[in-house]
């Protein structure tokens, strides 16, 4: 049987730094567990534009379609702000999502016990938090037509169109229900059915899929603005939240900050199964390229490490190994090891990006 294949696209800013720590863990699995990955690397974002004049080459796009999973670091930076919209670094990431048809974006928001004091919310509100937001990723207002900036009369007008088909809603709803069955069997669907026709359709289709295929899962509906309020008031009332592209973008970033640091949160973007049964998949940390700290050794690699753990779980069905990585991260945090973003009043053991990676590898060694 062929080794699982992984395409690494480290990207820009802190992307290469945090990805270097994931490579250590990949190497650990090879050396200590006899699990070998066929790893290839490519460029995406600003670094690809610098080298090729495009944020993603056709060759790299084709390679991403062939491998079992893509692991991405981060894209963008202020030096690329002057570029035309069509070649900005983010267009490379959007092209990957669109052409791989990665319609289901899983964003966990988990608050480790050791970091409960880092949230801006009270400790009892966030301690033990473990929710997942399932965001529809390939349709909605970010992709709908017509779109653009046009001249009407004597002024410009900006247009973006919110558009969803029944099938697009149905497949992301199924993704959420399937995930809920593996967790606490509870889904909350969020939209704006009170003011948007697309929201009415969203609610109707999610309800239909539930009633016909997943009646065992507890389903509730909530307006997205009320959902944002409830995430700040009592987030532990939720288990799986499913929502559209725009609201998912906003709500998942809000949920991310409940945990105290964007540097802690992974994500998975999943599509339909390939011939080998594995879903097309891209894994990436929620954080951006953080150009202000790039090259300083201050970046937190945990989100990227946990994204690799999600790849182990969802693409390679290596559930025990995924848990092993997650437990190693948990142990390191419990031991007080802290990158700059995690240093609080109570102190801790300050470490660099590389030292955090080394600490996680040491915890993996201790798990054997």
Enzyme catalytic residues: 142, 192, 225, 249, 253
- Maximum distance among all Cα pairs of the chain, rounded to whole angstroms: 70
Mapping DSSP to helix (H, G, I), strand (E, B) and coil, where does residue 14 land? coil
Q: Answer left, alpha or beta for residue 198, where phi above 0 means left and psi between -120 and 50 means alpha.
A: alpha
CA distance 267 to 282: 9
Contact 299, 355 (CB under 8 A): no
CA distance 356 to 274: 35
216 contact partners, CB below 8 Å, separation of at least 6: 181, 185
Long-range contact pairs involving 271-276 (C-beta distance under 8 Å, separation at least 24)? 271/100, 271/101, 271/102, 271/103, 271/104, 272/101, 274/68, 276/68
- Structure token pair of residue 197: 């026709």
First to last CA, the chain: 25
Question: Could you count the other beta carbons within 10 Å of the beta carbon of residue 130?
Answer: 15
The closest of 62, 164, 42 to 103, measured between CA atoms, is 164
The closest of 96, 115, 114 to 105, measured between CA atoms, is 96
DSSP assignment of 261-327 equals -GGG-EEEEEEEE-TTSPEEEEEEESS---TTTTTTT----HHHHHHHHHHHHHTS--HHHHHHHHH
């Amino acid at each position: 049987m062929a080794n699982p294949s992984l395409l690494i696209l480290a990207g820009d800013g802190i992307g290469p730094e945090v990805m270097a720590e994931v490579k250590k863990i990949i190497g650990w699995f090879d050396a200590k567990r006899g699990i070998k990955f066929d790893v290839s690397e490519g460029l995406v974002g600003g670094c690809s534009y610098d080298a090729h004049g495009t944020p993603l080459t056709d060759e790299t796009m084709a390679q991403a379609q062939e491998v079992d999973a893509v692991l991405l670091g981060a894209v963008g930076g202020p030096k690329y702000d002057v570029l035309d919209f069509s070649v900005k670094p983010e267009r490379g990431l959007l092209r990957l999502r669109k052409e791989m048809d990665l319609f289901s974006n899983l964003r966990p928001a988990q608050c480790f016990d050791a970091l409960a004091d880092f949230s801006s919310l009270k400790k009892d509100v966030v301690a033990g938090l473990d929710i997942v937001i399932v965001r529809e990723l390939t349709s909605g207002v970010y992709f709908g037509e017509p779109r653009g900036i046009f001249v009407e009369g004597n002024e410009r007008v900006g247009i973006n169109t919110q558009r969803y088909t029944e099938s697009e809603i149905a497949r992301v709803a199924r993704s959420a229900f399937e995930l809920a069955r593996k967790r606490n069997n509870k889904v909350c669907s969020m939209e704006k059915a009170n003011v948007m026709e697309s929201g009415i359709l969203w609610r109707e289709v999610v309800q239909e899929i539930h009633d016909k295929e997943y009646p065992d899962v507890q389903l509730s509906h909530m307006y997205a603005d009320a959902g944002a309020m409830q995430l700040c008031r009592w987030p532990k009332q939720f288990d799986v939240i499913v929502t559209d592209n725009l609201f998912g973008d906003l709500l998942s970033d809000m949920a991310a900050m409940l945990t105290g640091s964007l540097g802690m949160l992974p994500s998975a973007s999943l599509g339909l199964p390939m011939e080998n049964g594995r879903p097309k998949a891209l894994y990436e940390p929620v954080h951006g390229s953080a150009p202000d700290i790039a090259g300083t050794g201050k970046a937190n690699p945990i989100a990227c490490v946990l994204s690799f753990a999600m790849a182990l779980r969802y693409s390679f069905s290596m559930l025990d190994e995924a848990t092993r990585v997650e437990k190693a991260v948990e142990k390191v945090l419990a031991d007080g090891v802290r990158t700059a973003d995690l240093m609080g009043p109570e102190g801790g053991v300050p470490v660099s990006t590389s030292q955090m990676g080394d600490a996680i590898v040491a915890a993996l060694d201790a798990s054997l």
